[in-house]
Amino acid sequence: MNRRAVNSLIAGLVHWLLFLCVTVGGSSEAAETGVWPQAAGPHGNWIVESDQGPTRWSVTRGENVVWRTPLPEGGQSTVVVWKDRLFVTINQPWPADVPGAKKPNGRNCLGYCLNSYTGKILWSVKLPGIRDMKYAGIFSDSTSPSPVTDGKHVWFFNASGYMGCWDYQGKKVWTRAWQPRQRHHSRQFEPYLVGDTILNVEVLDKVAARATAMHKELPADVEPKKLWTYLHGIDKRTGKVLWVAEAGTAIHNTPEFGSLADGTAAIFHGRGGGHQPPEKPYGWTLTSLAPGRVGKTLWSVDVPGAGSHYTSQWNGKIAVWMHGAEHFVADAASGKVLRKAQLETNVTLTSYSQAEKKYTTEQGASIKLSKRAGLSTRITNQANLLFGNHHYFLSWKKHLVGRVNVDNGQVEYLQVPVLVDRRGREEVVTWEKAPANDTRNSRGVDIGVVDKRSKGDGWGHVSAACPVAIGSRIYFPTMLGMVYVIDARAKRLDERSLLAINDCGPATETWSLSSLTFANGRIYHRSMKEVICLGTAFGR
């Protein structure tokens, strides 16, 4: 072997070892409890191993609240934290006193940096967009993609067509604009930082996308696939596009990063959803992130109908998804379906009787989740998490937390209250229909008037926030600002597995579509009005 070949081999091995060391977040520090570098957490799977962090809190009553920082405008991005720095994105503040002003709708955002220990706002940057989007939409707004950070720099995103890199003093390193597709950009996609590469979902042909947005006639030679959205690998240091995945990714989908048993880094993603997204065939794909094969399809599974979207969950050994009222477990290495389970029949249902004021459990129960068999369900598929040997999710049929045992297909449901009001001396629990949600920002401006569905409870037809697992506790946030904490060690999903129902602000006055963040032994969350830090005070 000649010297050039040897040097090339060594360089390749070094590159691969570095890739394995940094994986998500760009540093081995990502394993520390002081780091939550992206919406999906330090490991890219919404899970962190820790016995710290609060289980119970109430922002309404000021219980286990470290600090609260009002924000001038709403937004949907999850906060990210690196030790003493916290980053979040908001919409450009909507004017409250402009006569004849349109309903809240725009394209520009702001990226904020806060001190994670005190909540003090340190600096902000402008994130100008290209295409208008309504504020507080139940599927997305311009702020939907969350920032990512590596401890030295932060990357902010604007779904209206903009991203950039800044250092920790707020100094711009680079910015990049692109043309979004005309369709709405669902908040389900979250950017990832894998080594030195940022993963973002964008339309392939930006020129064709601009023509579509401007309602111009497309050139005859433009292939339909050029208007599909794909995973793009972007150099974190320059903003240059390095690669584009072979298979498309629907804007409704939340891909998930991970590694196969042989160490191959990959990302699991899907196509499908409402309004007939063009990326076809509908189904799921595992795409390689390994050097030399990056962006290449490892396997794909096709499914009929439009249900192959939402969060894609896998753990390196198995991949799981829901399609209609069926649950699938596949081999992560090949995509071969190993098991199927029915989500509607022969289930275990623990429900609450308001008349008797107690829970009862029924074995072999049947519940109707589907509106139309195989096409649409009453499952909030976005809010799901594969943890251990169970796949957890929410259902808006009676407000149920559900889980499927991926080993034997057993399905369990637990009914929970839709709202707990702690504004008075006594708690008021609502089990069925919740009152309308208040979509006013911290300045008292109602920014949720464009889409009346934004005033709902967030359990149904909505791009709900993904749950997170901290240790053995799973946290499900909802649009009403409620957070349900489930004990994942529980042998049965019944009332004893429900550890707490927490609030992130007063009932019907707290709006959020953001996931929780865990860092520094505390939980961080953002609502339409503020960022909050939960747990015990620092220094105690």
- Mean pLDDT check: name the lowest of 123-127, 177-181, 282-286: 177-181
Residue 372 has a pLDDT of 53
Averaged pLDDT score across all residues of the chain: 88
Q: Is the pLDDT of residue 251 over 90?
A: no
Q: Which of 50, 7, 48, 74 is nearest to 444 (CA)?
A: 74
CA gap 316, 24 in Å, rounded: 15
The model's pLDDT over 198-233, given as tens digits with 9 standing for 90+, comes to 999 998 988 777 777 666 666 677 788 888 999 999
Find where tokens 């009553």 sit.
Answer: 61
Q: What topology is assigned to 3-534 in CATH?
A: Methylamine Dehydrogenase; Chain H (2.130.10)
Phi/psi at 35 (5° precision): -130, 125
Name the residue among 297, 300, 298, 324 with its Cα closest to residue 310.
324
Instruction: Please check whether residue 306 is in contact with residue 375, taking contact to mean a CB–CB distance below 8 angstroms.
Output: yes
CB 94 within 8 Å of CB 87: no
Tens of pLDDT, residue by residue over 309-320, are 677 899 999 999
Q: Are 151 and 26 in contact (CB under 8 A)?
A: yes
**Residue ranges of the domains in the chain?**
3-534
H or E element that contains 14: helix 3-22
Q: Is the dihedral of CA 289, 291, 295, 297 positive or negative?
A: negative
Q: Considering the entire predicted model, what is its pTM?
A: 0.92
Compute the average pLDDT of residues 380-409: 92
Per DSSP, 446 falls in state B
pLDDT exceeds 90 at position 515: yes
What is the residue type of 472?
A: S
* Pairwise pLDDT comparison (14 vs 197), residue with the higher score: 197
Q: Considering only the C-alpha atoms of the chain, give the largest distance between any 2 of them, rounded to a whole number of Å.
A: 82
Contact indicator for 481, 505 with CB cutoff of 8 Å: yes
Q: What is the pLDDT of residue 26?
A: 42
**Separation of alpha carbons 160 and 185, rounded Å:** 8
Q: Which of 237, 388, 14 is nearest to 6 (CA)?
A: 14
324 Cβ neighbours under 8 A, 6+ residues apart:
305, 307, 370, 373, 374, 375, 376, 377
